[in-house]
Chain A
């Protein structure tokens, strides 16, 4: 019997985690791309990053996600916690496509699914 409350808590944690990543990406997209061979370019990139609200909101969201995940882990049956948690890979892929306009192709989808299955097996074995 799957504990529905636990499933919901883990999905809730994931929502914050994935939301945080989407906010990071949205924020970073505003800051441009630093030239990694030029430290001045990197410093000005970091300065722009610090001034972008989405980065801070993303950080808060990721931290909330981690706290909720730890709460779930403390009471969870790990055999259901990890499979549900690794759904974040597919959720991120779909969200990045619809909300950030990133492209999905068959190869990316298959690769993401393989990573997801691999993570479940490693985490549970």
Chain B
């Protein structure tokens, strides 16, 4: 009997990581919007209660926290199927989403240097994803 070949990185798991990192970028923007609206820039022990109360009643902050919470379950699900050493570097794609979102929605330009970084990340993620299949290839 030939041993069953396990695919170390099913497409569904790549999709989950992409959803997770894209929603995480959106959550960061929500959190930043919410915290800016609260407008407290000196948080110390004395006004921490006020800060916590204002955060807990800010819709943006709560939405951001909700996304972080849901992403925890996505991440756990990914880890149930994928090696940490494969899943973790793929999360580096989060650094692609913020400049992309800023380009699409805020019409910001991406500097050549930043494009170079984005291309390196895409190349690296592709190699790591490819290595998941190499491992299962018969020698």
Contacts of B116 in A (CB 8 A): 121
Q: Which residues of B have CB within 8 Å of A68?
A: none
- A102, B111: Cα distance in complex, Å: 37
Would you call A3 an interface residue if the criterion is a C-beta within 8 Å of the partner chain's C-beta atoms?
no
Cross-chain contact of B85 among A97, A113, A119 (Cβ < 8 A): A97
Q: Is A60 an interface residue (CB 8 A)?
A: no
- Contacts known (A46-B73, A89-B89, A89-B92); A111 close to B84, Cβ less than 8 A: no
Distance to closest chain B CB from A80 (angstroms): 17
Known A105-B135, A108-B131, A112-B128: A31·B111 in contact at CB below 8 Å:
no
Give the number of residues in B that approach A within 8 Å (Cβ atoms).
40
**Candidate in B80, B122, B130, B134 with the most chain A CB atoms within 10 angstroms:** B80
State whether A120 touches B117 (Cβ < 8 A): yes
Q: Is B2 in the interface zone, CB < 8 Å from A?
A: no
A to B contact number (C-beta, < 8 Å): 133
SS of A interface (majority): helix
A-B CB contact pairs (8 Å), 26 listed? A22-B84, A32-B80, A89-B92, A92-B85, A93-B88, A100-B85, A105-B131, A105-B135, A107-B130, A108-B85, A110-B124, A111-B127, A111-B131, A112-B128, A114-B120, A114-B127, A115-B124, A115-B125, A116-B89, A116-B124, A118-B95, A118-B117, A120-B117, A122-B95, A122-B121, A123-B95
